[in-house]
Amino acid sequence: MMKRTLSLLVIFMIAFGAIAWAAQKEQRRQVTFTEDVLVAGQLLKKGTYTIVYQPGVEGKATFMRGGRVVAEVSYKLVRLPQKAATDSITYRRTGPQPILTRLTFAGQLEALEFESDRSE
């Protein structure tokens, strides 16, 4: 009985560790802007970018284009009431370029929210 309990405990610990590791693995998603946008005061020209971030963890997101880093910006996580059905991009307009405020990815329970530079 003791061996069985110990074996089950070890299996549980391995499984839990694998789940925790997978949750921390960086995500790479594609996002396409149809016009130039500002994110945290940095200009991103229209086009397709790869965004790299850690799901479930607030931190810095990296925007890449053509394999080159073009911007690194801080983000906060916003809990959604249910998994997002589609990808979506949210902007705020105060000038010639829209300001990126949020990215939501299909199947995720959290959106990435970007702070805008209030001096814009």
Q: Is the pTM of this model over 0.85?
A: no
Helix H or strand E segment including 7: helix 2-24
Residue 8 confidence (pLDDT) = 45
Domain ranges of the chain: 27-114
10-19, 48-57, 68-77: which has the minimum mean pLDDT?
10-19
**pLDDT single digits (tens) 54-112:** 998 999 999 999 999 999 999 999 999 999 999 999 999 988 889 999 999 999 999 99
Parallel, antiparallel or unpaired: strands 88-93 and 98-104: antiparallel
Average pLDDT over all residues of the chain: 84
Is residue 115 predicted with pLDDT exceeding 90? Answer: no
Q: What are the structure tokens assigned to 96, written together?
A: 């010639």
Residue 91 confidence (pLDDT) = 94
Closest Cα partner for 88 from 4, 96, 78?
A: 78
Q: What are the structure tokens assigned to 14, written together?
A: 């391995």
Helix H or strand E segment including 24: helix 2-24
20-24, 26-30, 33-37: which has the minimum mean pLDDT?
20-24
Which residues make Cβ contacts (< 8 Å) with residue 71, sequence separation at least 6?
39, 40, 42, 44, 62, 63
Residue 1 confidence (pLDDT) = 60
Is residue 44 predicted with pLDDT exceeding 50? Answer: yes
Query: E-strand spans in 1-120?
Result: 27-33, 37-39, 42-44, 47-53, 59-65, 68-79, 88-93, 98-104, 110-114
Residue 21 confidence (pLDDT) = 47
